[in-house]
Structure 1
């Protein structure tokens, strides 16, 4: 619950710079993540780092899990101001290391620090919202966060490529570092306000084992991500790594999450499962269009733009609707739309339907995701006491990270096992996505908006 008088809007004087600074930080984190995908072939070539290519991505993901858990634990114990500042500092260190790297090993270390910092920043910002924004504004601020997270999917790859071509790939990281400093300056007044607030301290949800467990979970997720490079050992390693991650992750979630207990556990489970389904299919959509219909890469990638725009618009609309449409109804509608969109994708793949028809399904799925993500965030905070906000927000982010990373890795293994582009590989991947998204239907009906 907010401890300040209720402002009238996100850009009211009391919240203006918090909204601006938070949104810019989220935008830059998303931009950096997408920009790396565009420039990695150049970085790998210049630094002679082909052997560490996959690790440059996986290290960031694994570090994000650790940063999210550590940042949430710290926020519950001492408030969000200190983990937010620490996360910004660590993120900056990572940007400088990667941007100035002359060797691939240094670049990977920088990527690790970027993941560590971004994980702490994201979870700390959720707690900032809980402390400074009234509950009535939560759908709007989380809708805004979703929108600024998705904007880089529209402009990030092109902008990163232009920077790399006209200046140097180094400036993709160093330039973001300068902008992070500006965003940090905008949010400083909020940090000072938070430092003056009394803290309630962490409750029993936090323990001394939580950060070590996050390290084990990160190693498990990393193992699943890298299993595809192990040839005949791929499936045994992937299954073993999934088992390790599952055991380590359980204590990092509220009790009942893995069985979708009614209320907040079901909300977190819903977000994790829908992320697993959506991102597994998304990863193979452009490849399907390129291989089956001979589309150019830029044209094949347009379907991702369709989904991103639909997600952003939907997030903004649900934010403006606010409490006029209940959280439970919004989540159920979003889930039905996500299920419809992903089943549509499976159907178009089985019937070899034209890409524009597939794009309709992806638009529907994007609308569903735009309804689900902000409202899950709102429900989680509504169920969280002040000493639990970091832990519960961290669990929500980990559900995204671990679910999406694991499902994409398993999709890759299925794609190879069923013959890739020359066999039934695409069908196997889309069946996986459809099976996962169908699991969200019973889960969505177990979410309760209030404790």
Structure 2
């Protein structure tokens, strides 16, 4: 073993001797950040009540989201100029500072500020993970790595809210923040040995300070769209229009040229990430409300389909990781097709007489689609992004995810607000949402082949099963 390269002909895996500590550390960091993002929604009502900040309820969420976009750009630039070691160390430090500030906050303004600090750190970490993956893992190992990372994001969705609820009820909501600090430190300690071997690209581009301002503008645009989606009046129209303008201006400077048109190559990879996130998380946000309002489900029962989706996501992520011989664009298209089928099938919950039970099946199908699609676009990103731009391209990748989710969830919010004001029935709003989100996934299936332009699939690992053999 020389540096982070494995000697030719040596069997390897993400948990072999050369990679096991790095993999364990990365997965721990991902798991705890995902846990915090899932768990905070459970602890938030208690936190804002204790801090006498109920009127500020939405601000901790918006502050985190807006700041994470800035963190993505900062982390990408730092990774390209100084290497992933510096970017990841700073990101973890900033995220930990946000956890500490949130857990100790005695006023709502301080709590919101701490959430913004967390967002910056989380954005830097998310981008740095891709830069580390590009340097520390050979191409043939990346499908397995991204499969494991996807599973690490899914697991907190299953247990995070429950654990946070128990901690908040029987101990204190502050432990949802403070309790993660020692665990984050353990994850970083496992990754550190590998980080020492990773270096900055020799041909790194000079920093572009204006990118951070464009990132801030993009974050403001996303926040404005979220706010506009929560109301249905002239103010919402004005705020939404301003948000769209800010978002368009910021994204033009941050995304690869041609992303909106889904041009072949890297722009299509980034665009595909946004389409996947928008279609899935748009319906993911609407489904519990639909089951609760149309069928009288309890909050716990209404959340079971989301668990089915998470399990499908985890299962398909592991499946694609075992088949590095299959072209990533094939898996990406299959993922989009399954996602479209799952979203479209969820329309059955709005049909009188069916009840809500079809969602238990259809959302599992949508989860399978995400489990195939999300790891595949991660692999394609690293295949097509040159090392000296991997940080910036990874930032664009993450920003597309956040933007796609925000746009689709904002559109869903408008439909729900229209139903709440009596302009349409909730059933109609759900069906319109299903049509829109299915169309987003179907578009992804059509354009998926563009994401693989010029990419040769990595050679399978020793002992991997080939298509012909199967």
| TM-score past 0.5 threshold | yes
Instruction: Give, in whole Å, the separation in 1 of the partners of 2:293 and 2:232.
Output: 23
Q: Could you tell which deviates more after superposition, 373-382 or 407-416?
A: 407-416
Is contact 1:335–1:441 with CA below 8 Å preserved after alignment?
Answer: yes
| Match of residue 110 from structure 2 | 106
Instruction: Give, in whole Å, the separation in 2 of the partners of 1:261 and 1:133.
Output: 28
| Match of residue 304 from structure 2 | 302
Deviation at 1:230, TM superposition (A): 5.4
Deviation at 1:144, TM superposition (A): 0.4
Deviation at 1:292, TM superposition (A): 1.1
Deviation at 1:420, TM superposition (A): 6.6
Could you say what secondary structure the match of 2:451 adopts?
coil
Deviation at 1:208, TM superposition (A): 3.1
**Compared with structure 1, are the counterparts of its residues 21 and 207 closer, same or farther at alpha carbon in structure 2 (3 Å cutoff)?**
same
| Match of residue 281 from structure 1 | 283
| Match of residue 129 from structure 1 | 133
Is contact 2:416–2:429 with CA below 8 Å preserved after alignment?
Answer: yes
Instruction: Give, in whole Å, the separation in 2 of the partners of 1:76 and 1:208.
Output: 14
Deviation at 1:3, TM superposition (A): 5.6
**Compared with structure 1, are the counterparts of its residues 425 and 352 closer, same or farther at alpha carbon in structure 2 (3 Å cutoff)?**
farther
Aligned residues: 446
- Tell me which of 179, 184, 190 is aligned to 2:183: 179
| Match of residue 318 from structure 1 | 320
Q: Deviations over 1:383-434 (max 9, x none)?
A: 0111011111111111111110222122111211234795433233323322
| Match of residue 67 from structure 1 | 71
Deviation at 1:16, TM superposition (A): 1.1
- 1:388 maps onto 2:389 in alignment: yes
- Tell me which of 435, 439, 446 is aligned to 2:439: 435
- Tell me which of 12, 17, 26 is aligned to 1:8: 12
Could you say what secondary structure the match of 1:321 adopts?
coil
| Match of residue 238 from structure 2 | 236
**Compared with structure 1, are the counterparts of its residues 113 and 352 closer, same or farther at alpha carbon in structure 2 (3 Å cutoff)?**
farther
Q: Deviations over 1:22-58 (max 9, x none)?
A: 0000000100001111111101111111121101101
Instruction: Give, in whole Å, the separation in 2 of the partners of 1:105 and 1:94.
Output: 13
| Match of residue 44 from structure 2 | 40
Instruction: Give, in whole Å, the separation in 2 of the partners of 1:26 and 1:187.
Output: 12
| Match of residue 349 from structure 1 | 350
Hey, which bits of structure 1, 4+ residues long, moved more than 4 A? none
Instruction: Give, in whole Å, the separation in 1 of the partners of 2:333 and 2:366.
Output: 13
Deviation at 1:99, TM superposition (A): 0.4
Instruction: Give, in whole Å, the separation in 1 of the partners of 2:149 and 2:38.
Output: 16
Could you say what secondary structure the match of 1:439 adopts?
helix
Deviation at 1:277, TM superposition (A): 1.3
- 1:160 maps onto 2:164 in alignment: yes
Instruction: Give, in whole Å, the separation in 1 of the partners of 2:351 and 2:245.
Output: 32
Instruction: Give, in whole Å, the separation in 2 of the partners of 1:303 and 1:229.
Output: 24
How much is the aligned-residue C-alpha RMSD, in angstroms? 1.8
| Match of residue 22 from structure 2 | 18
Instruction: Give, in whole Å, the separation in 2 of the partners of 1:156 and 1:269.
Output: 29
Q: Deviations over 1:159-183 (max 9, x none)?
A: 0011112211101100011211111
Instruction: Give, in whole Å, the separation in 2 of the partners of 1:67 and 1:235.
Output: 29
- 1:209 maps onto 2:213 in alignment: no
Instruction: Give, in whole Å, the separation in 2 of the partners of 1:450 and 1:319.
Output: 22
5+ long unaligned stretches in structure 2: 456-470
Q: Could you tell which deviates more after superposition, 230-239 or 288-297?
A: 230-239
Could you say what secondary structure the match of 2:387 adopts?
coil
| Match of residue 265 from structure 2 | 263
Is contact 2:101–2:110 with CA below 8 Å preserved after alignment?
Answer: yes
Is contact 2:348–2:358 with CA below 8 Å preserved after alignment?
Answer: no
**TM-score w.r.t. structure 2 length?**
0.91
Could you say what secondary structure the match of 1:207 adopts?
coil
Instruction: Give, in whole Å, the separation in 2 of the partners of 1:372 and 1:198.
Output: 30
Greater percentage in helix: 1
Is contact 1:349–1:426 with CA below 8 Å preserved after alignment?
Answer: yes
Is contact 1:415–1:428 with CA below 8 Å preserved after alignment?
Answer: no
Instruction: Give, in whole Å, the separation in 2 of the partners of 1:198 and 1:181.
Output: 24
Q: Deviations over 1:263-318 (max 9, x none)?
A: 22112111101211111111011111111111111011000000000001100110
- Tell me which of 70, 85, 89 is aligned to 1:85: 89
Is contact 1:147–1:312 with CA below 8 Å preserved after alignment?
Answer: yes
Is contact 2:131–2:390 with CA below 8 Å preserved after alignment?
Answer: yes
| Match of residue 57 from structure 1 | 61
Instruction: Give, in whole Å, the separation in 2 of the partners of 1:287 and 1:276.
Output: 18
